[in-house]
Chains A and B, each alone.
Chain A
Amino acid sequence: MEEGELPTDGAAAVVEHDAETTTLPVPTHGPLAVGTRSVLGPCGWVDPLDPTAYLFHSLERDAGAIADAGLVGRGRGDAAADEPAADVWRRARETDGDPVVVVNANDADDRQRADRTLLAGSPMSVLDGVAAVAEYLGTTDAVIHVAETDTELQAHLQEAIDAAADELPVVPAVVTGPDEYRAGEPTAALEAIEGADRIEPRLQPPTPAEYGLYGRPTVIHTPRTFAQIRLALSDPEGNDRDAESTTRLLTVTGDVTAPATIEVGSDAHLSAVRNAVELEGSFKMACVGGVFGGLSRTLDVTPTAAGLTAAGLGTEGVVELLNDERCAVATAGERARFASEANSGRCVPGREGTVQLTELLRAVYRGSFDREKIRELGRVMTQSSNCQLGADAPRPVLTAIDEFESSFEAHADGRCPSGTCSDKL
């Protein structure tokens, strides 16, 4: 080191680069070469706490400059998930009252690590995006909502915010919420931020853009969305905008030696994620879209919201690779049970539907597989739940039945094809 030489023994890859490079140089092959590095660029390369290492686009222009770019919200914590983010900004601008910007970064499900990766490795990008949206809304009020147990991240963010405070027109206040899956839902996050001692999602509509934090017009995005906003702001005219630059972050996890968060272009193929990690055992299926994602035998889909939804999969940026020791019935059942435990209890399909869904899967183990009854319940939960948790909860079960119907029949006959179920539920 003292001689200007970096030790490279044991390095995954060695890449030559210019002295002025501001993003992580990537090798041409190997796991680090998977996908692209746009929003992830600074992560692991730039000093996350040094504002001078960043070019703050919000100082030049506000988010209005990209209001027509069609950028969609990322992740279940985003109030504009899979919808044009700019629609939410416009609605908040049109609504009477002082707007607020919320960064929803409290996700108790650690399958999804993209938000934390961004906040840890490139908080300035997120803060830049927050400031751009706040400027567009004409407010100085912003909040970042993180898990109360993640004190390390809280301290890190506070340091970043303090460092950026002199540079950016608006920086958020750090507020913590409980480490509960349900607190990640956007309106539940508002409840946590307001200090409610019991967290449940609100009624919608009106959306948080019209009635949000303390009833004020509120824009709620995930760190992923804010980082994308910042990226789009770097090229407001969209001259360089192509499929490559509209990226999605995916955390690849499951039966892997080490999970990885990668960035892929919208023209990519989801199967590319296989190259980013080392799978333990042989691939059986993937659960795409978080804990309530869809089970699939293949990854033959583009990672866009439209592509994933069409395939019956979830858009939460998580791909779990599951090996052949996994049983699809058990996997679906465990997730149904989790839903029955993690829901707020607010609405009947969420509270009682998840219980009955679990019971119907238990019934499979007792010899009774009523696929129509399960599908009916799943449809009703999806259509009539008050929040996304209840709506998404049936997805693993419904997709499992689609992909592994014979396995359900086998379980009803008292047999687990993968040999893993003895007394699972």
Chain B
Amino acid sequence: MSTDDPLPGVPELDDPQHETPVTAEFETGTANDPPVGTDGETPTTVTVNGTQVTVPPGSTVIDAMQAVDDEVVSVDPGADSLDEDADVPALCYYDREGDASDEIGPRSECRTCMVETDEHGVVPSCSFPATDGLTVETDTSAAEESRSVNLDLVLSNHNLRCTTCNGNGRCELQETAINEGVDHPRYGVFDERSEYEPLDDSSSFIQIDRNKCILCNRCVEGCNDVQVEGVLRIEGSGEDTRIGFQSDAETMADSDCVSCGHCATVCPTGALTEKGIGGAGTLPLPGFTQRNSVGNVIEHEEVETLDDTTAPNRSPAPGSAGSAGGEAEAGQEGRSGIARYMAQSKRRASDFLGEYGRKAMLAGEHTAENIAAQTLPEGRLFDIASLVSDYRLGKIDKAETTCGFCAVGCRFEMWGKDGNALGVQPVDDPDNAPANNFSTCVKGKFGHDFANSKKRLTRPLIRNENGEFETASWDEALDYVTGELREVQDEHGVDAVSCLASSKGSNEEAYLIQKFARQVLGTKNIDNCARLCHSSTVAALQQTLGYGAMTNRINEDIGEADAYLISGSNTTESHPVLATRIKQNVRDGADLVVFDPRKIGIAEHADQYTRTTPGYDVAWLNGLIRYLTEHDLHDEEFIERNTKGFAEVKRNVQAFTPEKVEELAGVSPDELQSAAETLADAENVVFGWAMGMTQSSHGTENLLAMADLALTLGQVGKPGAGLSPFRGQNNVQGGGGDMGTLPGSLPGYQDPADDEVGEKFAEAWGERPPDEPGLKVPEMLSEAHEGNLRGMYIVGENPALSEPDIQHAGEALDSLDFLVVQDIFMTETAEHADVVLPAATSPEKHGTFTNTERRIQRVRASAEPPGKARQDWEITQELAARLGYDWGYDHPREVMDEISDLTPIYGGVSYERLDSGDEHGLQWPCWDEDHPGTPYLYDYEEGNFNFDDGLARFVPADGGHPGELPDEEYPFTLTSGRVLYHWHTGQITRRVEGLMSHVGESFIEINPTTAAELGVSDGEYVRVESRRGDIVVKAEVTDRVGDGTLFIPMHFAAGAVNKLTQETFDPQAGIPEFKVSSVRVEPLGPDADPDVLRTPDAGAGSAAHGND
């Protein structure tokens, strides 16, 4: 069926349903079902088992049943009511509150929710409207019979192999069957081995066992309606109905799946499961697995990771990258000829043995299964399975926590076992996951494996006289570090040392690093990697609005806007869960305008996509303001009431005529006009951006212009509107700014030069923090070069790969007298260190993260740091103690108490509130313990901008040219960015096999026209060269980029884009211009040198080949 050509539809008739260009192409195979529930705007009253209940408009019968007491009727697969007769399993119904959950069902497939009404007979309660006056009885014989027979019908086509099933113990069908007391299902169960569908194990993350599928369609909706990705569908009819793919793919690995994991999250059975969690509730016998139970398996092909080799998956033979797994050693040592052949033969022999053993074991397992199936009633099998799962799942450590990847602040329940991170499940109460409900992206759902890596740092390391690292005890390492830091300061002054805090760690940890710098070391030099991402945003928003942060909320405002202007944000890849909210809202009718040099994923959903020339964003932003004011489309009253400086901006933008904008930014007058009108027409507009705006030599001006535009339209201080920097690191808002890890800014952005502030800190700390601004990250490196900065304490940062011109950065780190790096892996930066201190990562921590919407949320541990690795806050506290400052914290909770004492915007934050608040998390400013937090900043009517006069400031922006322009020698403009499957410098994601199987190595995007000019073909390795250096990367010919523009992701050490980028900085924020460099490209063909490919550009092994 699925391959049939679609029917023509009715071209003459209007389809009023809004669809984006992307969603219009989705073929889910499911009917265009009507909305369920009562219509109209009045509540209705129905009677359920004799009890009257009034429910809001839009309610179904099941809503009414859930609204009455559990003793009247209990609804859900695990319903275990007091009165056995009054429970309604509603097996396929996804019983969860919130936006994302509302996208799932009701499909009304299983019909185990049938109830009897006086008016309409037996009806499915999950989808039947709770019309006024309806009388519902759940325990009539007809209703009970329907539920019971339909449940048995579901079981009749379900492969009841609970003890080997990944879903054991978390299966809604199993729960229902147990609670309904199913002993012998009327129609048996599905155990015709010859009819088993092969188990699809081809994805690294998600296993499909269609033999366990009950066709509830939740996965299809999770994929199409929540993720808006259009991968899964339902196909076939009758007995051949199955879950398949919208593309021609036959397996998960071949599909366009982005591994968001929604399908596995919402699957009620063991049909779609997370491989990481695997058989957490199955019999712990070797080989007793779902794979072996089904027998016939479509296998996964493993790829290399950073744990295997320093330059994974890079091989000159076309198409072989994916099959290089297990040959890391051979590749690394450049084995050739006979040695390689021998290694392969050995592997084949062991494969053969493995296969033989597997078959023998399969036979045994199948026999055991059959005996069990033939001799035990199904009810007994359930009992055994549930005993096993109770015991096994009881051994799982579960903790509700906040994701450690990006700053959307998704929350979920992290599962850990024996100190390792297993995977994630949704939190019980969707209110505790305000940004995401159950939604996740691939990294949040499946990317935590890095924590279990065998390459984690487990003991302190000290570099010996021969330049090699030796393991050391904590006492040795800590004594050594404090001695060296003190010596540097004694010889070269207190400011000869600097600290880099981490935006990945907790608020408490970041706070302690800046306290360590300012109180213990007495240095003014404290910064963090936010310098490289949104420092220009903070600078611009502080000047215009007052606070350097997102003005609004994610779900409630970004998710509900009427229009968007998104620029310089690859939202679907960098902030996937936030992007799904935008995609859903755009599907439902909101207008999306995207300006970007690349036609990225979010642009596919846009009503208007305009390709811009990299480096000239001020031009088109000013051009928009000019158009709006010229056509009286600005919000005059708002401007009059709440702002100042408009006249100056209006005068300033006059130079940005449509012709000028086209000349500079490549935006045509028509596109400018259309964008201006879309934004002006909308009631509420959200302006979203990320690195594409900020990482520019005039990044601050870009964002001044963006803020000016929002003020011109009066789009701040109200729901559904606002200026929304999509921030990167999980805790960049808190640990990268709020906590004062910035030169010249104390916690809560307090001015150290302000005597009142200084004295407050002096009183609390016993030392007054230095009152003048210290060095910014790039300045630290250049001062290190100059010999002025001699020592650094770097926590959870990787400047050796993240700085522009990394060769120069590497030299700077080498020229330090003393470098201590505190991290979880031997990063490219740690390779330069004198001491390396092993720390903990997010699944192992207690603390708080502050997400991009200023929401402070709890982080809880479900795993333990490996070996002797310690919590970051403990390490810093130990260092402080050795330098004479006894902090005496016993738990991060106490650090937060100190933060709230000293930081007015965090004044009302405490663990007690975060752990027990009605609404999860607190959004700053939260002034005191009675303050509810601030959902969105400022007020459209009143202003309330964060200045003494409450007025927002228009600040003129002029822009200019990027730091480097294409010329004859280096004719192409290179830009950089991220991919969905990796994180920043890739130290954590390059270790996760499944993420590497999606994107396994660095690459360069080249427009087909450019590629033809250069003679570059898709998949071929090319050398890319700038004035700073050269790298070799694989070409991907695509029209995502425009002609003459190139793109390389930032995540890889082999093919490291920052070997090419330049050290031009924004003068106000000090952010480097990562987004524009001039390069040239040379195709290498099949002769690309394997040694070059296998040598990273930074980190281990780079020295041997580097600096050439």
A-side interface residues toward B, CB under 8 Å? 97-98, 100, 141, 143, 148, 173, 175-178, 180, 182, 187-188, 190-206, 210-211, 213-216, 340-349, 351-356, 359, 373, 376-377, 379-380, 383-386
Q: Cα distance A119–B749 when bound, in Å?
A: 79
B356 at the interface (CB under 8 A from A): no
> Is the beta-carbon distance between B13 and A141 smaller than 8 angstroms?
yes
Using Cβ atoms and an 8 Å threshold, which residues of chain B touch A100? 13
CB interface residues, B 681-732, toward A, < 8 Å: none
CB interface residues, B 357-386, toward A, < 8 Å: none
Contact with A along B449-476 (1 / 0, CB 8 A): 0000000000000000000000000000
* A386-B234 contact, Cβ under 8 Å, with A203-B34, A356-B153, A377-B149: no
* A193-B237 contact, Cβ under 8 Å, with A211-B34, A347-B108, A348-B111: no
Using Cβ atoms and an 8 Å threshold, which residues of chain B touch A351? 215, 238-239, 241
In the complex, besides A194-B15, A206-B35, 7 extra interface pairs with C-beta distance below 8 angstroms are A100-B13, A173-B13, A197-B6, A211-B35, A340-B239, A342-B237, A348-B110
> Is the beta-carbon distance between A376 and B128 smaller than 8 angstroms?
no
Q: Lowest 10 A-B CB distances belong to which pairs?
A: A345-B241, A195-B9, A211-B34, A352-B153, A198-B29, A197-B6, A380-B149, A202-B31, A383-B122, A214-B15
Q: Cα distance A323–B267 when bound, in Å?
A: 51
Contact check: which of A192, A342, A384 meets B150 at CB < 8 Å?
A: A384
B-side interface residues toward A, CB under 8 Å? 1-2, 4-10, 12-17, 27, 29-36, 39, 106-112, 114, 121-122, 124, 127-129, 142, 145-146, 149-150, 153-154, 156-157, 186-187, 215, 233-241
Q: Cα distance A176–B10 when bound, in Å?
A: 10
Distance to closest chain A CB from B264 (angstroms): 22
> Is the beta-carbon distance between B32 and A349 smaller than 8 angstroms?
no
* A173-B239 contact, Cβ under 8 Å, with A215-B16, A347-B111, A384-B150: no
Q: Cα distance A359–B1 when bound, in Å?
A: 25
Contact check: which of A191, A193, A206, A383 meets B142 at CB < 8 Å?
A: A383
Contact check: which of B27, B128, B157 meets A197 at CB < 8 Å?
A: B27
> Is the beta-carbon distance between B16 and A383 smaller than 8 angstroms?
no
Q: Cα distance A204–B146 when bound, in Å?
A: 18
> Is the beta-carbon distance between B1 and A197 smaller than 8 angstroms?
yes
Using Cβ atoms and an 8 Å threshold, which residues of chain A touch B30? 198, 200
* A214-B186 contact, Cβ under 8 Å, with A194-B32, A340-B238: no
Q: Cα distance A203–B35 when bound, in Å?
A: 9
> Is the beta-carbon distance between A216 and B16 smaller than 8 angstroms?
yes
Distance to closest chain B CB from A337 (angstroms): 10
Using Cβ atoms and an 8 Å threshold, which residues of chain A touch B17? 214-215
> Is the beta-carbon distance between B13 and A345 smaller than 8 angstroms?
no
Q: Cα distance A141–B15 when bound, in Å?
A: 12
> Is the beta-carbon distance between A197 and B2 smaller than 8 angstroms?
yes
Contact check: which of A196, A202, A380 meets B6 at CB < 8 Å?
A: A196
> Is the beta-carbon distance between B16 and A214 smaller than 8 angstroms?
yes
Q: Could you give 16 example pairs across A and B, Cβ below 8 Å? A: A97-B16, A175-B8, A187-B31, A195-B7, A197-B2, A197-B4, A197-B29, A345-B236, A345-B239, A346-B241, A348-B112, A348-B154, A353-B153, A356-B187, A379-B145, A384-B150
Q: Cα distance A373–B148 when bound, in Å?
A: 13
* A359-B7 contact, Cβ under 8 Å, with A343-B237, A349-B153, A351-B239: no
Secondary structure class of chain B's binding surface, majority of residues = loop
* A201-B122 contact, Cβ under 8 Å, with A340-B239, A348-B150: no
Q: Which residue of A lies closest to B11 (CB)?
A: A173
Q: Cα distance A15–B439 when bound, in Å?
A: 76
Contact check: which of A148, A180, A205, A384 meets B129 at CB < 8 Å?
A: A205
> Is the beta-carbon distance between B121 and A383 smaller than 8 angstroms?
yes
Using Cβ atoms and an 8 Å threshold, which residues of chain B touch A356? 153, 156, 187
Using Cβ atoms and an 8 Å threshold, which residues of chain A touch B153? 348-349, 352-353, 356
Distance to closest chain A CB from B217 (angstroms): 9
Distance to closest chain B CB from A351 (angstroms): 6
Using Cβ atoms and an 8 Å threshold, which residues of chain B touch A178? 4, 7
* A194-B10 contact, Cβ under 8 Å, with A203-B127, A206-B34: yes
* A197-B7 contact, Cβ under 8 Å, with A191-B31, A206-B34, A373-B186: yes
Contact check: which of B29, B32, B156 meets A355 at CB < 8 Å?
A: B156
> Is the beta-carbon distance between B2 and A198 smaller than 8 angstroms?
yes
Using Cβ atoms and an 8 Å threshold, which residues of chain B touch A353? 149-150, 153
* A348-B109 contact, Cβ under 8 Å, with A194-B9, A206-B39: yes
Q: Cα distance A383–B157 when bound, in Å?
A: 21
* A202-B16 contact, Cβ under 8 Å, with A182-B237, A383-B142: no
Q: Which residue of B lies closest to A102 (CB)?
A: B10
Distance to closest chain A CB from B317 (angstroms): 39
Contact check: which of B6, B15, B124 meets A384 at CB < 8 Å?
A: B124
Distance to closest chain A CB from B966 (angstroms): 47
Q: Cα distance A356–B29 when bound, in Å?
A: 25
Q: Cα distance A188–B235 when bound, in Å?
A: 15
Q: Which of A215, A348, A351, A356 has the most chain B CB within a 10 Å cutoff?
A: A348
Q: Which residue of B lies closest to A216 (CB)?
A: B16
> Is the beta-carbon distance between B114 and A383 smaller than 8 angstroms?
yes
Using Cβ atoms and an 8 Å threshold, which residues of chain B touch A379? 142, 145
> Is the beta-carbon distance between A201 and B31 smaller than 8 angstroms?
yes
Using Cβ atoms and an 8 Å threshold, which residues of chain A touch B106? 203
Q: Cα distance A206–B27 when bound, in Å?
A: 23
> Is the beta-carbon distance between B7 and A173 smaller than 8 angstroms?
no
Using Cβ atoms and an 8 Å threshold, which residues of chain B touch A187? 31
> Is the beta-carbon distance between A215 and B34 smaller than 8 angstroms?
yes
> Is the beta-carbon distance between A214 and B2 smaller than 8 angstroms?
no
Q: Cα distance A202–B34 when bound, in Å?
A: 8
Q: Cα distance A145–B240 when bound, in Å?
A: 26
Using Cβ atoms and an 8 Å threshold, which residues of chain B touch A199? 237
Using Cβ atoms and an 8 Å threshold, which residues of chain B touch A204? 34
Distance to closest chain A CB from B417 (angstroms): 35
* A203-B111 contact, Cβ under 8 Å, with A345-B236, A345-B241: no
* A346-B109 contact, Cβ under 8 Å, with A200-B31, A206-B34, A356-B156: yes
> Is the beta-carbon distance between B34 and A344 smaller than 8 angstroms?
no
> Is the beta-carbon distance between A349 and B111 smaller than 8 angstroms?
yes
